[in-house]
Amino acid sequence: MGNIMKSSSFALTEAKYVAGDNIKYTVIENVKTASLKVRSRTENVAGVKLPKFEYFTEAESKNELTGLARGGQQVQGCKAAYVKAIEVLVELASLQTSFLTLDEAIKTTNRRVNALESVVNQEQAAENLSLQRGISMNAAHNMLSATQKDDDIIF
């Protein structure tokens, strides 16, 4: 990605050198709407909805004659370099948002598993206590809840 961004920046420098610094005003005047756009959709991966970005060209560019007087070839090369950079950036954004969404889903699942394990462990401890002492499960739960103290609270 670094090489693509470097080459697109260098292509802009070449276009400015050949066509002059006022090339941006010429380009802005000739461009009415964006020719390269980004669309968002969702994919379902293992029950997690992941955002997916994709680029598309809506209409053909009507400004092939931009810079015809001076530096037209460099302007078109600059355009191609920046289109390639946008393609890479859209792919990177798609991967990054998918990674963050999956990371959040994994954290949520881990919290649920930990909560379930603690409930199961309490049930097993109560069952063992009731079998050892010959008492009911309710009495074992009551005994365990009375003996468990919160060690984090200091008075």
Structure confidence by residue, pLDDT tens digits, 54-80:
988 876 666 565 555 667 788 888 888
Structure confidence by residue, pLDDT tens digits, 122-142:
888 888 878 888 888 788 877
55, 72: one domain: yes
Q: pTM for the full model? A: 0.66
34, 20: one domain: yes
Tell me, what's the pLDDT at 89? 93
Task: Judge whether 152 lies within some domain.
Answer: no
94, 39: one domain: yes
Task: Judge whether 13 lies within some domain.
Answer: yes
Q: Which residue has the higher pLDDT, 142 or 109?
A: 109
42, 79: one domain: yes
For 134, residues 6+ apart whose C-beta sits below 8 A from its C-beta are: none
Domain of residue 32 covers 2-106
CA 39 to CA 2: how far, in whole Å? 24
45, 98: one domain: yes
For 43, residues 6+ apart whose C-beta sits below 8 A from its C-beta are: 49, 50, 52
Tell me, what's the pLDDT at 150? 55
Structure confidence by residue, pLDDT tens digits, 11-47:
888 888 887 777 777 777 777 778 888 999 999 988 8
